[in-house]
């Protein structure tokens, strides 16, 4: 849980957005293989925050039906859609 992730979780609370359900969530495919690591995950809503280091897996997460954001400024826009 890095500083950016902590800031995002704090900002969610400030903005009235539910806090993430899990940090370091491993998204698995149907066979159980991990296809993406999501830094902060709102599992029931299939929304996740991914760091720059995790960016290579963004398309895997999106293909599995997840909405992914990568910077603090995208929080409001992401949650407006759900």
Q: Kindly report, residue by residue over 5-34, the tens digit of the pLDDT.
A: 888 888 888 888 888 999 999 999 999 999
Joined tokens for residue 25: 């969530």
How many angstroms from the chain centroid is the CA of residue 28? Answer: 14
Give residue-wise pLDDT tens across range 65-82: 999 988 755 666 666 655
pLDDT at position 61, please?
Answer: 97
Cα 4 to Cα 15, 31, 44: the distances in Å are: 16, 32, 22
Query: pLDDT tier at 4 (50, 70, 90 boundaries)?
Result: confident
Q: Is the pTM of this model over 0.75?
A: yes
């Amino acid at each position: 849980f890095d500083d950016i992730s902590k800031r995002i979780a704090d900002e969610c609370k400030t903005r009235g957005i539910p806090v993430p359900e899990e940090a370091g969530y491993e998204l698995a495919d149907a066979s159980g293989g991990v296809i993406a690591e999501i830094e902060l995950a709102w599992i029931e809503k299939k929304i996740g925050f991914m760091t720059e280091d995790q960016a290579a897996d963004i398309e895997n997460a999106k293909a599995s039906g997840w909405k992914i954001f990568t910077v603090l400024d995208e929080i409001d826009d992401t949650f407006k859609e759900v």
